[in-house]
Structure 1
Amino acid sequence: LMGQKYLGMVDMMGDAKTLKNFMRMEKWIFDSPDQAGETFRQFIKDFFQQNKLLKGEVQIGKYTIDLKNVTMPILNVFAEQDHLVPPDASRALNGATGSSDYTELSFKGGHIGIYVSGKAQKTIPPAIGEWLTKRS
C-alpha cells in the first residue's frame, strides 16, 4: 500500500491542488497520537485474537458487553477496500446484535477514502440522511 501510494503521487505533480490535498492527508495520517502499549495489546488480544466482542465476553470495568442488548436500528457503514477493517470484519455485525433493523452500506473505497474522498462525500452523507429520514 505504501509503495503504490507514493508511486501514484508522481502523477499528481502537475496538479498543485491535488498534490497539496494528498500532502495534507499524509500529515494528518502521520500525526496520530501514540497508543498506550498495554491497552493496545489488550485490544488486539480481546478483539482480534479471541473475538470477544462477538462472543459477548468483552469486559469494560465491571460491565460485560453483549451485542444482543443493542436493539436500536443499526446502519453499518464500511469500505470495500479497507485494509485495516476488512469488509468481512464489518459484516460480522449482521445477526450479532438484538436489532431487528440492520442495514449495511458498503463504499467502494478504502479506510481513509470512506471519510475524506470526494466520491464518499457525495454518496455516504446522503445515504445516511436517507436511512435516518426513513426512521424518523
Structure 2
Amino acid sequence: MTFGDEIQRWNKTVQAPVRFTMLALLCDADIIEFGRMRQLCGISAQTLSKQATILSDAGYLTIHKIPRGRQVSTELSITEQGRAAFHEQVELLRRLAATAQQPIYAPDGTDGSAVSSEAA
C-alpha cells in the first residue's frame, strides 16, 4: 500500500483533534458525563455539543439524557463503530509514522541523500 493509499483511508470525522480526544477518552472510560468531558478537553459547552453531535451523527457516539430530579444530566458513550473507527485511525497513524521513518528513494534508486555536483 502506498502513502497515497493510506491518506485516502484517513477518517475525516475522527481526525479533528477534539473528536479524536473525545473518542480516546471514551475508549478508556466508556461513559463520561458532559461537564467532565468538557473539562478534560478544555473546551466550551457549545463546542463540545457540536463535536458530540458530529460523532453521534456518524454513529460513533451515543448521547444519553438522564433525568436527575429537576435537572437532566448528559452522558456520552462510545459505540462499537466509534471504537473501531478510533482504533483504525490510530493504526493508520502508526503506519504513516513508520513510513515517514523509511528512506525515500530517488527515481535512480539512490536514497536521495547524495549532493549533486550542481548543488555543491
TM-based fold match above 0.5 = no
TM-score by length of 2: 0.26
TM-score by length of 1: 0.23
Higher relative contact order by CA 8 Å / sep ≥ 6: 1 or 2? 2
Structure possessing the higher radius of gyration over alpha carbons: 2
